């Protein structure tokens, strides 16, 4: 009897739970559902005008991005937004509109990447749709300057193809010698003068082509942070300027540690703290990597390797911060490479013109 009562109680509880679940479902169905759509992406400054994100491109702050729908020559702009410090943008819209025929494009750039025409549109791609939220992403958008920067590889060839530089004049082809025709036709024969045979003209001597001059490899250089901070050497800065922020040069991890307002000029003055010392030496290594040609003898051949070691130190322990700071300092002093290699020197010369005011 007691067991039978327990079964009845359990059945009653299950029935009450089922009724409560049905009432909750009906209430949720009666309530108005809210949904939203978000479009996210990033904008980069295409400094070499190659149409793709490369080594010398950086996130563009303050660029204006438009979401356009409808297609055709005059698409309808539905939303606009500016990029943040890290070159990213996020546009939110209420409801669940159909974004299949919509694109994103840069309508206004900033700095030297804002003087050219608007960038090409990119199609949106649905990342996921869940719980009333639809997220669309877009490939990296590019904003280009009027001309490619001087440090870009193949800049002269690109300018010749585009017609901005005059093409080299080709020397005229040497005239081929004329060979007189043979006397196949019957001609009158004079008794007092025998006929003459045509004479073979000498072939022109073509000089052999000159041997190609081997390319002379560019010597590498390594300069310390105080050399980069000197005003008389400001003309040697490339890609970045003293007013470029640490967040833009090194990325979000550096922005979280050092803040979004710290500039590279202020980073070269850091001392008294192991994280400020790491930033000072990493900034000098980044400038050395921009200054040297790719594949040189500097310990960090690319700027990406400097940023990777910097982020790895920020994500690790205090011991790793000290080790990476010492490696950056040794590389900036010209050492740290393979055994037996000569120590690199700083090839700076004082700027002929006064340093620009940033």
pLDDT digits (tens, 9 = 90+) for 188-204: 444 455 555 555 666 66
- The least confident of 130-134, 149-153, 296-300, 352-356 is 352-356
Which of 30-44, 132-146, 325-339 has the highest average model confidence (pLDDT)? 132-146
Question: Crossing angle for the helix pair 303-314 and 318-332, nearest 10 degrees?
Answer: 150
Average pLDDT over residues 165-187: 46
The pTM score is: 0.43
pLDDT digits (tens, 9 = 90+) for 93-119: 888 888 878 899 898 888 778 765 566
102-108: strand order across its sheet: 76-82, 64-69, 102-108, 122-123
Predicted confidence at residue 307, as pLDDT, reads 92
Residues 316, 275: contact at Cβ < 8 Å? Answer: no
Q: Is 102 helix (H, G, I), strand (E, B) or coil?
A: strand
DSSP string across 145-167: -SS--TTSTTHHHHHHHHTSSPP
Residues 108 and 164: their CA atoms lie apart, in Å, by 24
Residues 345 and 104: their CA atoms lie apart, in Å, by 47
Say which CATH topology domain 36-143 has: Immunoglobulin-like (2.60.40)
Using CA atoms in the order 266, 267, 270, 274, what is the torsion angle rounded to 10 degrees?
160
Domain boundaries, the chain: 36-143, 225-332
Which residue(s) pair with 56 in the sheet? none
pLDDT digits (tens, 9 = 90+) for 267-284: 999 888 899 999 999 999
Predicted confidence at residue 195, as pLDDT, reads 53
pLDDT digits (tens, 9 = 90+) for 220-242: 889 999 999 998 888 889 889 99
pLDDT digits (tens, 9 = 90+) for 25-72: 444 444 445 788 999 999 888 888 888 887 778 888 888 899 988 766
Residues 239 and 288: their CA atoms lie apart, in Å, by 11
Predicted confidence at residue 27, as pLDDT, reads 42
Residues 65, 40: contact at Cβ < 8 Å? Answer: no
| Alpha-carbon torsion (158, 159, 162, 163), positive or negative | negative
CB under 8 Å to 324, separation ≥6 — which residues? 278, 282, 309, 310, 312, 313
Predicted confidence at residue 189, as pLDDT, reads 45
């Amino acid at each position: 009897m007691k067991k039978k009562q327990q079964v009845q109680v359990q059945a009653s509880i299950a029935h009450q739970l089922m009724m409560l679940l049905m009432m909750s479902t009906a209430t949720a169905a009666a309530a108005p559902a809210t949904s939203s759509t978000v479009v996210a992406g990033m904008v980069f400054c295409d400094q070499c005008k190659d149409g793709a994100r490369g080594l010398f491109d950086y996130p563009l702050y303050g660029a204006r991005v438009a979401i356009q729908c409808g297609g055709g020559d005059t698409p309808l702009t539905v939303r606009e937004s500016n990029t943040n410090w890290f070159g990213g943008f996020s546009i939110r819209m209420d409801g669940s509109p159909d974004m299949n025929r919509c694109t994103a494009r840069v309508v206004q750039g900033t700095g030297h990447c804002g003087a050219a025409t608007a960038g090409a549109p990119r199609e949106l791609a649905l990342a996921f749709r869940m719980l009333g939220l639809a997220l669309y992403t877009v490939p990296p958008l590019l904003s280009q300057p009027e001309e490619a920067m001087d440090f870009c590889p193949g800049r002269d060839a690109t300018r010749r193809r585009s017609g901005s530089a005059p093409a080299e004049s080709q020397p005229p082809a040497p005239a081929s010698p004329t060979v007189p025709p043979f006397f196949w036709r019957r001609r009158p024969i004079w008794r007092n003068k025998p006929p003459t045979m045509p004479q073979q003209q000498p072939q022109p001597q073509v000089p052999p082509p000159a041997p190609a001059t081997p390319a002379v490899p560019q010597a590498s250089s390594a300069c310390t942070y105080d050399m980069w901070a000197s005003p008389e050497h400001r003309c040697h800065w490339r890609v970045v300027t003293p007013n470029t922020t640490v967040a833009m040069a090194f990325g979000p991890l550096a922005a979280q540690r050092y803040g979004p307002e710290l500039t590279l000029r202020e980073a070269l003055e850091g001392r008294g703290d192991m994280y400020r010392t790491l930033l000072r030496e990493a900034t000098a290594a980044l400038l050395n990597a921009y200054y040297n040609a790719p594949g040189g003898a500097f310990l960090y051949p690319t700027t990406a390797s400097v940023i990777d070691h910097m982020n790895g130190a920020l994500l690790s322990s205090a011991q790793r911060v000290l080790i990476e700071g010492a490696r950056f300092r040794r590389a900036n002093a010209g050492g740290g490479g393979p055994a037996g290699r000569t120590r690199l020197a700083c090839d700076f010369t004082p700027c002929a013109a006064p340093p620009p005011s940033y």
